[in-house]
Amino acid sequence: MSPPQPARRIALDVIMAVRDSDAYANLLLPVRLGRAKLSEADAALATELTYGTLRMQGYYDRVIAMAAKRSTDKIDPAILDVLRLACHQLLSLRVAQHAAVDESVELAKTVGSNSAVGFVNGVLRTITRSDAETWRKRVLAEAESGEEALAFEFSHPLWVTRAIRQVLVAEGREAELESALAADNVAPRVSIAALPGESDPAELDAWPAPFSPVGAILDHGDPLNLPAVREGRARVQDEGSQLAALTLSRARPIRPGEQWLDLCAGPGGKAALLAAEAASGGAILTANELVPARAELVRKALAVFASPPEVWELDGTSIGDLYPGAFDRILLDAPCTGLGALRRRPEARWRKQPSDVAGLGNLQSRLLTSAIVALKPGGILAYVTCSPHAAETKAIVTSVLRKAAHVERMDTPAVLQGIAKEPLDLPDATHVQLWPHRHGTDGMFIQLLSRA
């Protein structure tokens, strides 16, 4: 047998690093692909194998446990990664069975013992005896409720499925649960933001974004092939993130001399868009990022400007005390579970636990309280998370505003509808919740607040 195909080898290496070293696939995979200099077709295969396997890991583990007749926690982790990768090829891709099995056996030889190799061969032969639909029915038959069946089928932890359902129920859109879960398993299109004053969507060789007035959608190819992206005048940025920044910057006309703050600015995507918006209206942006490495990323993101905004490295929870009433507009893109970006960070669904929500909630509340103190009377604050989880969104705003009688919610949907190029499907509320399945964006929550 020849060595494993490079695309499969790279996919396995990244999957193992995600499990073993808490690596981020979206950061590691491009590096590995760049070093390997694969053809476009092989790079696309490696990408699909990596992300597809990570997304559907929970589902594949159930198939593997049935075929192996043992719990997956009894299987050597590296061998389990080989089996997961094989399952993606056998159950979700049009890969010839013999190729998927043979290549997986060769991969097993590189990470396991002779007995482990035989085990992989036996499990995969068992899986190939039934088609994908038969395995789907077997997996779903183990579910104890319809909700759990959806969690199994679309490979989400049950607690995440329940959290998404809770938000949809509150919107009167419970029937969308299956669509919402399915959307997390579809690779997102590449969205690009043309920085106002530096670039324009019309100069990009891409489709206009449906909603963002500064956005474009790249159908295929490397965004770095676009001169504006290569030069930093346009950025790869999800359309939902663009809309979150624009909701703050375009909530009302900019008065020259306004002071703006991006409180948690790393890695700098929204800060760059805000900086461009601020410059166009004569406002001054300051970016803050506590973590030095991320602060450096913010500086790099802002380097395209002739006079880059200042970047602080302060604890965001202290900025209210240090700079009370200092800012006309503040963006608080709060640290969160990232459940709104599972389609681009598939491993996040397996890393997060319900306990993470509570821990982050305390930080989110403290940051929001600090931001309110730092806001000038008459100022506007945008509380943003890349998560739809109610405990990270509406609950945080409600709990903080109980102690801030001088702050009130703005009609955020009305503001955003006035900015978007096309009407957005937004249920009646004072906040905005964007969804992958409904809007084609990450699951961004946006709440504008004003201080009396």
Q: What is the DSSP string of 234-267?
A: EEE--HHHHHHHHHHHTSSPPPTT-EEEETT-TT
Cα separation, 210 vs 447, in Å, equals 21
Burial of 74 (0-12, 13-18, 19+ CB in 10 A): exposed
Q: Identify the active-site residue in 87, 264, 336, 386.
A: 386
- State both tokens at 101: 């099995």
Contacts of 46 (CB under 8 A, 6+ apart): 6, 7, 8, 10, 11, 29, 32, 33, 38
Q: H/E/C letters for each residue in 47-67? A: HHHHHHHHHCHHHHHHHHHHH
Q: What is the DSSP string of 52-106?
A: HHHHTHHHHHHHHHHHHTS-GGGS-HHHHHHHHHHHHHHHTS---HHHHHHHHHH
Cα separation, 450 vs 234, in Å, equals 30
* Tokens 């329940």 sit on residue: 162
Please give the single-letter amino acid code of residue 379.
Answer: G
Helix, strand, coil percent values for the chain (each to nearest 5): 55, 10, 35
- State both tokens at 163: 């959290």
Asked if residue 240 lies in contact with residue 426, where contact means CB atoms within 8 angstroms, the answer is no
Q: Is 87 a catalytic residue?
A: no
Cα separation, 194 vs 304, in Å, equals 13
Asked if residue 443 lies in contact with residue 341, where contact means CB atoms within 8 angstroms, the answer is yes
The angle at the Cα of 89, spanning 60 to 12, to the nearest 5 degrees, equals 80
SS3 333: strand
Distance of CA 94 to the CA centre of its chain: 27
Active site residues: 386
